Amino acid sequence: MCLSWESRQSMEVLISAERIRERVDAMGAEIAADYVGRPLVVVGVLTGCLVFLADLIRRLNHPTQIALIQASSYRGTATTPGELIVKGEMLPDLHGRHLLILDDILDTGQTITKLVEYLSTRGAASVRTCVLLQKIGRQQVEFQADYVGFAIPDKFVVGYGLDFNDEFRHLPFIAVLPDSAS
């Protein structure tokens, strides 16, 4: 579904670009401080994490490698999760490495829980998690990310890498998708 220009203009901005920038700066400093003396592998969950990943690693000022993994339970125009599919073919050898799983949003908790399990079996020295957003009231699996950018209400959001049918990733802010689209 493609939204009309009027619908796009009426999106409610939930988190401004400036607030995102400030929070990502703070998260970068916190993560770098926590990993002093330990090289880090940031494992980005495709595709929603890409904008967040690019901004965060530039703020780390820390020895960091990047790895990518594909994990998705939302496909096409779906606004509710389906079966989780994980594709780890792009991962390097992670044995003995300190991993930070980076995802755009903690929604039901199923994806990040499965990714922690999946990556832990690859011999990592440690596995921690970082999410830009955590939806309040949506978790079906008990999970607390190690680093959380913002807690948000249970609304379908787009922007700053998050999408609806692969649109709106380019927005520099987080906005609530109008009801007419979801």
Instruction: Provide the annotated active-site residues.
Output: 107
Please list, in sequence order, all residues whose beta carbon lies within 8 angstroms of the beta carbon of residue 10, skipping any fewer than 6 positions away: 178
Residue 148 is encoded by which pair of tokens?
């959380």
Q: Is the dihedral of CA 129, 64, 51, 92 positive or negative?
A: negative
- C-alpha to C-alpha distance for 106 and 126, rounded to whole angstroms: 20
Report how far residue 73's alpha carbon sits from residue 138's, in angstroms, rounded to the nearest whole number: 14
Backbone phi, then psi, for 169, in 5-degree steps? -60, -30
d(CA 52, CA 56): 6
Q: Is 99 left (phi over 0), alpha (psi -120 to 50) or beta?
A: beta
Strand partners, 96: none
Closest CA to 157 of 130, 133, 129: 133
